[in-house]
Structure 1
Amino acid sequence: MTFDAAEPMPGMMLSPMITAISYDADRLVLSVHFQDWPSRDLPWNDAALAGLIGKMPGTAGLSLADVERAVGRLYPAMSDADLGKATDTLLLFLSQNDMLHWWFGTEEQPLCILDPQSRLFSPRFSLGPVPDGVVLSRFAFMRRDGDAVLLENPECHAVLRFTAAGRDLLPVAFAYSASGTAAEAVSSHQAFWHFLWCSGFLEPGATDTPSRQAWDFHDRVFHAGSRSFLGSAPIGMNCRFKDTIAPLLAQKPAMSTRKIDLLRTHDGEATPQSRPLSSVMETRHSVRKPGYFPLCLDDLGVFLWRTASVRGQRSGGGLELLERPMPAGGSIHELEFYIAVHRCDGLEPGLYHYHGGEHALYALPAKPPYVQAIVSRAASGMGQPDILPDCVIVMASRLLRLAWKYQAISYRLSLLHAGVAMETFYLVAEDMGLSPCAVGSGDSALFSLATGLPEDEETAIGEFVLNGRQLTGTAGAGSGTWQ
């Protein structure tokens, strides 16, 4: 594509994280020094291209046209097609080494800044003109970040940050296609539409691979946002709220005055049903059908003691940490456990919060229709809407407990912890002869209505059904045995 120097066009600059760059002709390496990352030496055998890279720092850098012309002067015999590919190859190499950021506009006034979110990203300007019928990627979305407006696409690992001067480009980004009803909106900004195409924000409207179809929008955004992409925002342990927000208490205060003490097993004491771990793991399976016998309070108490009880508390890194039979990242244990009871010998139907430190249930003033809806939703999630389980364990995350220490991965960690809890529930239920089944879907809004807790304070992230013991044998209820 040919660019008019007077019109907005693509350009690039060295990453703001680069503090110095130099070329050592004796060693044939390009030395790049970063502000917060380890410096690195890159293999390099072209002093002229090293000089070109040295002209890219600052807020302006060089336009793509200037880079192409400079490469053309270095290799005058190269055809236009090969020149475009050579420029792409050079820029891709720099991108893969965290060296480039991009812009669209002019060197004096960028209209938007394109920040790579991983080494996988680099615009491919050799793609050529924009084909007919392209549309904005179904993974692209717009959001606000402070005073800035961002267009993101987790599939191409890039974030487009619009400057105040570039806000008029937003309608172009959301034009339906380069032809048809949106042609007029795009026609006056062909260069920007081409920039979006080469940067991966557009896609052919009629084609999609089977593997790409498997990704829902929210899954792709969540995956990209909670994995460690080089060059992206801080991720992992950084205690970013250390000086601004007090950490949550490790154990919540009692949520009511109606306390039900539970049976427990003593440390080191095996229950009569205990078998070798290998045997339990091999026979563990989901049991969707409620037990012949209702779940009983004593079994529920022993089950919770062996899985979710708090065995100790200590301090570390500014946080209160817990010890439980199941593991959790940083020993933070942000999960809370609620029991929605449909039938349980010794316990009235209703919603209960499990206090792990006291090993007790506290009855909550939840309206019966909400409790019934939680149980019914779990039954539907198991594919048997007309057969209600004995109880549903709702796992809720107090996300601030994790986010106080971990940035960008706290929700992912909570989901991992819910998975750990589910496996722990399965193994203990199998060992005790109870009937367990994890539920793949749930309704966080129902949990909020039932408990009165705001979603940003504590939200349901997983459900697990626990039923009573099954009747074994084939001679009928009178002569069968229960386990």
Structure 2
Amino acid sequence: MPIARSAALPGFARPTGRLVLSRFAYLRRLPDGADESCVLESPMAPFRLILHRASAGAFVTALATSRTAQQAALLAGLSTGEGEALAGLLAGGGFLDAGQGAEAPLWDFHDLLFHARSRPGRHDYPTGGVFAHQDVPQLPAVSGPGAREEGEGIDLPVPDWDTVVARDPALSEVLEGRRSVRSYAETPVTLDQLAELLYRVARVRRVIPGDPADPHGYDGVERPYPAGGATGELEVYLSVVKCVGLEPGVYRYDAAAHRLRPRPFQHPGEEAAFGELVTAAWRATACTVDPQVLLTVTSRFGRLSWKYSQIAYALTLKHVGVLYQTLYLVATAMGLAPCGLGSGDTDAAARALGLDWTAESSVGEFLIGSRPAGVPRTAHGFADVVEAARGGEGFGENF
């Protein structure tokens, strides 16, 4: 069946020669199918093929290796005519590798599928705020204490607004001075500095009550950075190695109370995972600096997927992006050393932080430390390549 506006099935033909399945095609069972039906899809194909017989699925899997339609039919227990007809559907629907570099060589399977499925145009699934899970209780707007958290935690000082406004450079200076800093001062970052950073970047400004009478109503969360649907699904955890006024270990930032909640290690495996996170962060900086504080950003996925279909994970990554930029700008304005990391270990983070990765998982990592005196925190004036590029200097004829 067609699933995209661009779908146009060419005249039916029975392909000859050897055939092989597209590396982007995938076969899965129907979520509510009681029979043996399964569905074949591909981000490269504007069609969906529903296979009602196990032998049809066997034919498709036989083409994971280059074969003729007749050979695949024999393996699947189909007649030659049935195999040739099914091969024609696969070819016309865009499920076979056409060869000649037509298989988008620069795309990984999961990236292309993610891109095609998280935006309209290449599929026909309900997309956006469709509330597909409205019968499931919504997760709370603000995360409660975790199993490893003890006591009331550590109340953090609230920065003084007038002091911040008087001290901060102009936004343009901060934007132009923003860079990843992979070196630290001898004296580590302080607890007061972390408190100000977290307050200005990640605190809960307010919870917006939903309408109890509305089946689609839910409590929204307002923070300093923007988020689609005010879902507030992101959480921040601190893996502290060196910080003046704070013991090493793992902490969760309680964004509603502006408080750090310690998460003591309960067995050696959790402490070992903490070490893995810190080591991975060190490697991510090309082994240039011993981390002082690693911020791990997690997502409580259910806050998004309860409302949004197809786009929930894409949204949480966009939220991570704006959180990164907010961290960079505030840390730069404060004279700290910020450095966003490109990736992190999902399993190690789950063990170190005490999380079920399918419900709440790491989606971003960010290093914070004390800025060395030799690294300026702001820029005065523009410094870029635009003028040289326009003049054709130093970039080659194809710039």
Q: TM-score, normalised by structure 2?
A: 0.82
Q: RMSD value over aligned CA atoms?
A: 2.3
**Corresponding residue number in structure 1 for 2:385:** none
1 or 2, which has the higher strand percentage?
A: 1
In structure 2, which of residues 9, 18, 21 is the aligned counterpart of residue 136 of structure 1? 21
In structure 2, which of residues 25, 35, 40 is the aligned counterpart of residue 151 of structure 1? 40
Deviation readout 1:179-200 (Å, 9 max, x if unpaired): 4994544872112112211111
Question: Residues 273 and 157 from structure 1, CA distance in 2 versus in 1: closer, same or farther, beyond 3 angstroms?
Answer: farther
**Corresponding residue number in structure 1 for 2:342:** 440
**Which whole-Å CA distance do the structure 2 matches of 1:178 and 1:342 have between them?**
57
In structure 2, which of residues 155, 167, 172 is the aligned counterpart of residue 261 of structure 1? 155
Q: How many residues align?
A: 353
Deviation readout 1:220-251 (Å, 9 max, x if unpaired): 11112211137611111122222x21111111
In structure 2, which of residues 282, 296, 318 is the aligned counterpart of residue 394 of structure 1? 296
In structure 2, which of residues 270, 282, 296 is the aligned counterpart of residue 379 of structure 1? 282
Question: Residues 415 and 268 from structure 1, CA distance in 2 versus in 1: closer, same or farther, beyond 3 angstroms?
Answer: farther
Residue 428 of structure 1 and its aligned partner are, at CA, apart by 0.5
Deviation readout 1:305-345 (Å, 9 max, x if unpaired): 11001111121352111221111111111101101111111
**Which whole-Å CA distance do the structure 1 matches of 2:280 and 2:28 have between them?**
32
Is 1:365 the equivalent of 2:264?
yes
Question: Residues 179 and 230 from structure 1, CA distance in 2 versus in 1: closer, same or farther, beyond 3 angstroms?
Answer: closer
Residue 273 of structure 1 and its aligned partner are, at CA, apart by 4.0
Counterparts in 2 of 1:233-272, with a 5 A limit?
A: 233-242=125-134, 244-255=135-146, 256-258=149-151, 259-267=153-161, 269-270=163-164
**Which whole-Å CA distance do the structure 2 matches of 1:431 and 1:302 have between them?**
11
**Corresponding residue number in structure 2 for 1:292:** 186
Counterparts in 2 of 1:66-465, with a 5 A limit?
A: 115-125=1-11, 128-130=13-15, 132-145=17-30, 146-147=32-33, 148-163=37-52, 166-174=53-61, 175=63, 176-179=65-68, 182=71, 184-185=74-75, 188=80, 189-205=83-99, 207-208=100-101, 212-229=104-121, 232-242=124-134, 244-255=135-146, 256-258=149-151, 259-267=153-161, 269-270=163-164, 273-316=167-210, 318-366=217-265, 367-384=270-287, 387-465=289-367
- Partner SS state of residue 221, structure 2: strand
- Partner letter of residue 150 of structure 2? T
- Partner letter of residue 220 of structure 1? L
**Which whole-Å CA distance do the structure 2 matches of 1:435 and 1:328 have between them?**
25
**Which whole-Å CA distance do the structure 2 matches of 1:357 and 1:327 have between them?**
16
Q: TM-score, normalised by structure 1?
A: 0.69
Identity of aligned pairs, percent?
34
CA contact (8 A) 2:38 2:57 kept: no
- Partner letter of residue 152 of structure 1? E
CA contact (8 A) 2:346 2:361 kept: yes
Residue 433 of structure 1 and its aligned partner are, at CA, apart by 0.9
**Which whole-Å CA distance do the structure 2 matches of 1:144 and 1:120 have between them?**
25
**Corresponding residue number in structure 2 for 1:467:** 369
- Partner letter of residue 431 of structure 1? A
Structure 1 gap segments, 5+ residues each: 1-114, 475-483
- Partner SS state of residue 328, structure 2: helix
- Partner letter of residue 226 of structure 1? S
CA contact (8 A) 2:237 2:353 kept: no
Structure 2 gap segments, 5+ residues each: 211-215, 377-399
Deviation readout 1:45-95 (Å, 9 max, x if unpaired): xxxxxxxxxxxxxxxxxxxxxxxxxxxxxxxxxxxxxxxxxxxxxxxxxxx
- Partner letter of residue 41 of structure 2? E
- Partner letter of residue 445 of structure 1? D
Q: Which has the larger radius of gyration?
A: 1
- Partner letter of residue 59 of structure 2? V
- Partner letter of residue 173 of structure 1? V
